[in-house]
Amino acid sequence: MGLILDSGVVIDAERHGETVERLIERVVKVAGDQEAALSAVGLTELIHGLYRAPTPEIRLRRESFLDELLADLTVYPYTKQTAMLAGKLDGEQQSRGIVIPFADLLIGATALSLRLLGSDGQRTPLPKDPGSAGRALLNAENCSFLPSSLPSSLT
């Protein structure tokens, strides 16, 4: 069981001066003690923010935070299987009038694709309505969605 962290969760923590340790503690309080990881797409968003930092000091702070985070988390790749799943989800959702922001779609599809191929190599069926992958922590085991802004009241 595990979680793919949405980049928004990481960005909020860094901007509010949290440590990586504190971020992980808050995730555990909300989602339970399970492995947290990033998708390659989420990492791309974080690197993008690093290079858009308005000052050298902010860039250095973001880089340090990201280095510490990457030492603690696995980064899952965006694969052919993930791309096919993302296309399916996007097509199905848009046919219902639901538009998922593209990066969020790819992050959610990464988490879902990790769940779809179990250790026995058998596919697990998708839920009928996986909901919006928008700005969420996606639990790859049971496809539940948690808000990306973890409550600050969890101290």
Query: How far, in Å, CA of 139 to CA of 109, rounded?
Result: 11
pTM value is 0.74
> Which pLDDT belongs to residue 127?
41
Taking the C-alpha atoms of residue 136 and residue 100, their distance in angstroms, rounded to an integer, is 11
How confident is the model at residue 1, as a pLDDT? 55
Average pLDDT of span 134-154: 38
Q: Which domains does the chain have, with CATH numbers?
A: 1-150 (3.40.50.1010)
Query: In the predicted model, what is the mean pLDDT of residues 26-33?
Result: 80
CB atoms within 10 A of CB 84: 12
